[in-house]
Structure 1
Amino acid sequence: MSTTECKIASSVVPDELCLNALPRFLGRHYMEGESLVYDWAARLCRSYEGGHWNFFTLSNDGFYMTPSNMGRVHVRWHMNGYGDMMGADAFGITVTLFALCHLAEKTLDDLIIGRYHRLREFASQHVEAANILRAID
């Protein structure tokens, strides 16, 4: 059975382990990757004002981040005409996908490219998959 046929599970990373999450998933690019997540959050959501983020690991060895201080938000991306509401979890997945894509294009690092594809696979199973996939298209 392929991983696309299996449900991918997500688990929140406890706060005391968050410092190790990005180095684990992004290797030497972890500082730039974190900065890109926050930058993309601001680009995609006018109401984003920073704050605490939660980290999630995926059973397929992927990860993503979500803002912990947001509910449903309006997300807009002018480059593809996307504009709609989504929950904080879907927003975090979308932002992390944009950041990973940006970082993968910049670094051409197979580790980062793999993380993007693992998260996209999870995104396709998410309850808000249609919105996430439209936003990143």
Structure 2
Amino acid sequence: MTDTLTTNSPTVTKIPDEERGEFIPKMLPGVPLIFAENYVFDIMSNLCREYGGGFWDYFRGSNGALYMVPTGYDRMRLVAEGNGFDDEMSADAAGIVATLFALSHLSFRYQSDRLSEMYGRLLEFAYAHPESALICRAID
């Protein structure tokens, strides 16, 4: 993915290396840092059998949405056993799904208005994503 992607969807900007240290606290405010990032990794491990860890890129949507995307994958097959979802999507869409799950789960654990706000922004962003139908089915 390029540093900035513009389509009919909202603009997406890759977070530069010098801002990576600030990203997780902004995306998951109030969640202990060591726990926060690993939570997203664990969700992806549960959703995707092929996921084996690795580096993630961080992205900001034009509406302020923040999300993580695993690198080294073009397409990923996600299986959400709780809702019967089983389909393939881009790594970008898969990252949105994993981040949405993390924001949702963590907002109940930490009961933070800011976490709920970040979930709402990312969900709004997901509705305009080219793979919005797959994302919505995965998180349903």
TM-score by length of 1: 0.91
Question: Is 1:117–2:120 an aligned residue pair?
Answer: yes
Contact 2:48–2:76 under 8 Å retained in 1: yes
Question: Is 1:49–2:52 an aligned residue pair?
Answer: yes
Secondary structure in 2 matching 1:84: strand
Instruction: Say how many residue pairs are matched.
Output: 132
Which deviations, in whole Å up to 9, do the C-alpha atoms of 1:70-109 show, x marking residues without a partner? 1111110111000000010000000000010010111110
Distance (Å, rounded) in 2 between the aligned partners of 1:30 and 1:9: 29
Contact 1:42–1:48 under 8 Å retained in 2: yes
Partner of 1:67: 70
Partner of 2:39: 36
Distance (Å, rounded) in 2 between the aligned partners of 1:22 and 1:132: 22
The aligned amino acid for 1:8 is P
Alignment of 1:85-104 (within 5 A): 85-104=88-107
The aligned amino acid for 1:112 is L
Contact 1:65–1:93 under 8 Å retained in 2: yes
Identical pairs, percent:
40
28-37 or 81-90: bigger deviation: 28-37
Partner of 2:16: 14
Secondary structure in 2 matching 1:103: helix
The aligned amino acid for 1:130 is A
Contact 1:33–1:100 under 8 Å retained in 2: no
Secondary structure in 2 matching 1:28: coil
- CA spacing shift, 1:28–1:53, aligned 2, 3 Å: same
Of the three residues 11, 24, 41, the one matched with 2:26 is 24
**Gap runs ≥5 in structure 1:** 1-6
**What RMSD, in angstroms, separates the aligned Cα atoms of the two structures?**
1.4
Secondary structure in 2 matching 1:29: coil
Secondary structure in 1 matching 2:53: coil
Runs of 4+ in 1 over 3 A off after TM superposition: none
- CA spacing shift, 1:30–1:131, aligned 2, 3 Å: farther
